[in-house]
Amino acid sequence: MEREHNLIPEDTLWKRFLYRVIYRADTRLGMLFDVVLLFLILASTLIVMMESVPQLDKRFHFTFIVLEWIISLFFSIEYVLRIMVVKNKKSYIFSFFGIIDFLALIPFYLSFFFPITKYFLIFRMLRMLRIFRIFNLLDFMNDGYFIVRALKNSSRKIYIFLLFLIIFSVIVGSLMFMVEGGRTGFETIPQSIYWAVVTVTTVGYGDVSPITPMGKFFAVILMLAGYSIIAVPTGIVTAEMRNKRQNLEKICERCGNDDIDDDARYCKQCGKKLA
């Protein structure tokens, strides 16, 4: 979540007032500001989606442009004010929400030179994460951080698994290239690897399929293996989450200390060996 950045000195009262409105949701004005912000984020996202529909864009193109200008100027002013009213400006700019705010704003200005980049404004939906702070749903955000930590801690095992999956797909794709003998969809090894990846992940687009009996046999083996392969990363992350939860629930039986490190074998307060 957004950290409480250092306030500007007390003599700049208007900056302290703006800080409380922009960064805090414990006042009526702060709550109103955040609700308006969420509404504009949703409106901007809806406009971007409607602009991609030719019939709607042709009919309401000027209206979409005007609304997008108004919303983007509001976000620009808000971003500048967020920087102005904090003492440690670098802390906000390079924070999680600071980066999201920047990414949500820059596509609007890039679209002056590269029109297609306006569709990157869809990143503004990420700003909806502030809803957890606005409506006091911090526990949900903490659960999200718990999942992210579990993914990070299990990343090494997942990388090894992905390496195995790449090797497996390359081998199977090469075998299918030899078995199918250059038929449609298997003219090259890269095309055959594409088929192997689509099959092993159980996506199954159906744009390429084997014809020969041996090719169909390989396809059946790959499909059955796909179910097992998909379960592996899920099991890795689930096990890490369970271990992390158990570590968080460690409590010293002697002194009741619950500040236990993940790899701790003894309590750092009383020295009792942990179970």
Distances (CA, A) of 204 to 77, 198, 207, 213: 47, 6, 8, 19
Contact 211, 184 (CB under 8 A): no
Kindly state the tokens that stand for 75.
């976000």
Report residue 10's pLDDT band, with 50, 70 and 90 as the boundaries. very low
Q: Which amino acid is at 68?
A: E
Residues 112 and 161 occupy one common structural domain: no
* Domain membership flag for residue 267: no
Bigger pLDDT: 60 vs 264: 60
Contact 101, 79 (CB under 8 A): yes
Report residue 9's pLDDT band, with 50, 70 and 90 as the boundaries. very low
* DSSP states along 58-87: HHHHHHHHHHHHHHHHHHHHHHHHHHHTBS
Contacts of 252 (CB under 8 A, 6+ apart): 258, 260, 267, 269, 270, 272, 274
Give tens-digit pLDDT for 136-180.
Answer: 555 555 566 666 777 777 778 788 888 888 898 899 889 889 888
Provide the 8-state DSSP code for 266.
Answer: B
* Domain membership flag for residue 4: no
Please tell me the predicted confidence (pLDDT) of residue 250: 59
Residues 23 and 131 occupy one common structural domain: yes
Residues 91 and 159 occupy one common structural domain: no
Closest CA to 92 of 30, 3, 1, 24: 3
Please tell me the predicted confidence (pLDDT) of residue 63: 93
State the CATH number of the domain containing residue 33. 1.20.120.350
Please tell me the predicted confidence (pLDDT) of residue 260: 64
Provide, rounded to the nearest whole percent, the portion of the chain with pLDDT above 70: 76
Q: If you average pLDDT over every residue of the chain, what do you get?
A: 79
Please check the confidence at residue 270 and state whether its pLDDT lies above 60: yes
Bigger pLDDT: 230 vs 7: 230
Task: Out of 140, 163, 179, pick the residue that ends a domain.
Answer: 140
